[in-house]
């Protein structure tokens, strides 16, 4: 009997937590460098190439509950504007997330556009403004719900009503984000760059974000500040340091890290690059990361080693991430390859 009560209580807690997470904070990845649009739509197009496609798969909490699974896919296409040094980037962000016992599923389809304004005739200095917005849908599997109303005093009885006042198994809303970024070349070396960015997510404050019919929950805006620097330390190697700080309602998160990169082959136009380093999500996880580029393809892996108060229950296990990237110049007229200056990081 005690074991049955514990199971019912755990399932109810999982359901309640899933519903709460739907309206309190956004999903996140540890490989922030592979999800630029989720950080800030103004970070789109800050790469060497005309096109970039990135996909990240994340699974977490396997040791605690039903594993959470998240898949991100973003694409960017950059093209010069006129005969000057300005650029336009068009792209989009797709996101799929499935979490918890009740299979809380979130699907996002968010087109994006970014304009890069050149501020210097001598080196790469750009101010960028970006917008992203589209449709978000959330749904649950009510057949997997268990609540305390289904406890008949002796056992769990799935034929009893859940006792929850739900309006349905899904809802949809429109969402929007905007951001600014500034990137500048340091010195004469085009590989040395510094960037700052600020994004304001959910600026339209989507409302009625709940499966409960009497809820008045609205999405709290999220502010994200980003910064990064890349410095060459030798002809064939460089260091990249970057960090994000985000705040959404009462929730805040800081993640940052440092990565060492070595160029294999011709240092002026390397086909192979190997990256190794570590990130830390403050008071939550240490994240070692490794990435191998075989241009135009790249693959990276990371793992969250949990250091939060949940580490006893999770046994130090957190989330595993695997990402794939395709990035290259396109052989066409008006390619950014032919530009003297181009926003890149």
Q: What is the DSSP string of 169-210?
A: SEEEEEEEEEEEEEEEE-TT-TT-EEEEEEEEE-TT--B--S
Residue 317: what pLDDT? 62
The number of beta carbons lying within 10 Å of the beta carbon of residue 224 is: 23
The structure's pTM equals 0.84
Highest mean pLDDT among 55-59, 62-66, 137-141: 55-59
CA distance 340 to 282: 39
Task: Give the DSSP letter string of 21-74.
Answer: HHHH-----S-GGG-HHHH-GGGTT-SSSSEEEEEEEEEE-TTTSSPEEEEEEE
* Contact in structure between 304 and 287 (CB atoms under 8 Å): yes
CA distance 16 to 82: 53
Tell me: pLDDT of 18 over 60. Answer: no
> What Rg value do the Cα atoms of the chain yield, rounded?
22
Number of residues written out for the chain: 345
pLDDT band at 309 (very low <50, low <70, confident <90, very high): low
Average confidence score pLDDT of the chain:
85
pLDDT band at 62 (very low <50, low <70, confident <90, very high): low
Residue 102: what pLDDT? 82
Residue 159: what pLDDT? 73
The predicted model gives 51-80 an average pLDDT of 86
Determine how β-strand 272-281 pairs with β-strand 68-80. unpaired
The predicted model gives 80-102 an average pLDDT of 89
The predicted model gives 312-337 an average pLDDT of 77
Helix (H, G, I), strand (E, B) or coil at 156: strand
Residue 182: what pLDDT? 97
Which two structure tokens, joined as six digits, stand for 51?
């096109």
Tell me: pLDDT of 116 over 60. Answer: yes
Residue 212: what pLDDT? 76
Residues 6+ apart with CB under 8 A from 71: 55, 56, 57, 58, 95, 96, 97
Residue 205: what pLDDT? 92
DSSP run (H or E) holding 14: helix 2-24
pLDDT band at 315 (very low <50, low <70, confident <90, very high): low
Q: What is the DSSP letter of 343?
A: -
pLDDT band at 176 (very low <50, low <70, confident <90, very high): very high
More reliable by pLDDT, 317 or 220: 220
Burial 245-266 (b: 16+ CB within 10 A, else e): ebebeeeebebbbebebbbeee
pLDDT band at 141 (very low <50, low <70, confident <90, very high): confident
Residue 96: what pLDDT? 95
Residues 6+ apart with CB under 8 A from 158: 146, 150
Burial 32-69 (b: 16+ CB within 10 A, else e): bbbbbbbbbbbbbbbbbbbbbbbbbbbebbeebbbbbb
Tokens 């109303």 locate to: 149
Each residue of 229-261: pLDDT tens digit? 999 999 999 999 999 999 998 899 999 999 999
Residue 340: what pLDDT? 65
Tell me: pLDDT of 334 over 70. Answer: no
Tell me: pLDDT of 39 over 80. Answer: yes
Which two structure tokens, joined as six digits, stand for 24?
């309190």
Name the least confident of 186-190, 319-323, 339-343.
339-343
Residue 11: what pLDDT? 37
Q: For a pLDDT cut of 90, what percent of the chain falls above it?
A: 55
The closest alpha carbon to 133, from 220, 41, 246, belongs to 41
> How far is the CA of 33 from the CAs of 15, 168, 307, 321, in angstroms?
32, 37, 22, 12
pLDDT band at 312 (very low <50, low <70, confident <90, very high): low
CA distance 242 to 231: 12
More reliable by pLDDT, 190 or 13: 190
Residue 345: what pLDDT? 86
Tokens 């580490």 locate to: 311
Q: What's domain 2-338's architecture?
A: Beta Barrel (2.40)
CA distance 115 to 42: 8
């Amino acid at each position: 009997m005690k074991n049955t009560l514990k199971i019912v209580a755990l399932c109810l807690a999982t359901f309640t937590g899933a519903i709460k997470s739907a309206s309190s904070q956004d999903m996140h990845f540890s490989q922030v460098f592979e999800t630029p649009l989720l950080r800030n739509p103004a970070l789109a197009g800050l790469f060497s190439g005309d096109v970039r496609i990135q996909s990240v798969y994340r699974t977490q909490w396997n040791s605690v509950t039903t594993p959470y699974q998240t898949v991100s896919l973003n694409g960017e296409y950059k093209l010069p504007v006129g005969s000057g040094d300005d650029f336009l980037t068009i792209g989009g962000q797709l996101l799929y997330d499935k979490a918890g016992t009740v299979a809380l599923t979130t699907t996002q389809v968010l087109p994006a556009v970014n304009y890069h304004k050149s501020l210097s005739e001598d080196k790469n200095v750009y101010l960028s403004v970006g917008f992203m917005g589209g449709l978000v849908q959330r749904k649950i599997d009510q057949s997997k719900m268990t609540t305390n109303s289904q406890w008949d005093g002796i056992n769990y009885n799935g034929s009893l009503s859940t006792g929850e006042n739900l309006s349905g198994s899904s809802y949809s809303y429109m969402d929007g984000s905007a951001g600014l970024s500034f990137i500048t070349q340091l010195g004469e070396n085009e590989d040395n760059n510094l960037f700052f960015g600020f994004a304001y997510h959910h600026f339209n404050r989507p409302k009625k974000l709940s499966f409960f019919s009497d809820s008045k929950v609205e999405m709290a805006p999220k502010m994200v500040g980003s910064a990064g620097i890349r410095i060459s330390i030798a002809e064939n190697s460089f260091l990249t340091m970057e960090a994000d700080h985000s705040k959404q309602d009462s929730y805040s998160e800081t993640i940052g890290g440092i990565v060492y990169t070595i160029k294999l082959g011709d240092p002026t136009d390397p086909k192979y690059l190997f990256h190794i380093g570590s990130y830390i999500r403050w008071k939550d996880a240490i994240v070692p990361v490794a990435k191998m580029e075989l241009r135009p393809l790249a693959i990276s892996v990371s793992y969250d080693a949990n250091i939060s108060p949940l580490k006893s229950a999770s046994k130090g296990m957190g989330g595993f991430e695997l990402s794939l990237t395709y990035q290259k110049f396109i052989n066409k007229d008006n390619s950014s390859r032919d530009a003297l200056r181009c926003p890149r990081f």
